[in-house]
Structure 1
Amino acid sequence: MAGNSNNLNLAQESCISDPDQLQAPEARFECPICLAWLRDPMQTSCGHRFCRKCIQSWLEREKACPVDNKPLDKDNDIFPDNFTRREISQQRLKCPNIIRGCSEDLSPLDVEAHLLTCKYGVPKLPDNEKLRCSFVAFGCDSKFEDEPEQQRHLEQETQKHLMLLSQAYSKLILNNSASTSSAAIAEQANFWDPPSKNDSNAMQISSNSNESVHNLLRSLYEKIVVLEQKNREQDIIMANMSEQIASLNLTVSKLSLRYCNGCYLWSITDFKNKINQMRVNHQIMHYSPGFYTSTYGYKLCIRFNLSPKDPTYVAILIHMMKSEHDNSLEWPFTGRISVTIVHPLDSFQNMRETMMTRPELEAFKRPVQDLNPRGFGYTEFVLIEDLFAQGFIDNNNLVIKVNAQPV
Structure 2
Amino acid sequence: MATIVGFDCEFLEPPPDVLQTECPVCLQIIREPHQVTCCGKKYCASCIQCVQDSNSSCPTCKAELFHSFLDKGIKQSLYGLKVHCSHQKDGCEWTGELRQLDEHLNTDPLPETQLDGCPLTIINCDFHHVGCAVKLPRQDMPEHQRESLRIHLSKIAINYASLREEMNVIKRENESLKTKVASLRSSSQRFTAIPTKPREKISIQPSNVLIMTNFQQHKRDGNWWYSPPVYTHPWGYKICLGVCARGFGNNSHVSVFVYLMRGEQDDHLTWPLRGTITFQLLDQTGGENHKFHQCVYDDSVELKNCEQVRYGERANSGWGAPTLIAHSALKPQYLNRDCLRFQVSSGEVHINVCE
| TM-score, length basis structure 2 | 0.38
Bigger share in helix: 1
- Higher RCO (CA < 8 A, seq sep 6+): 1
The structure having more radius of gyration, on CA atoms, is: 1
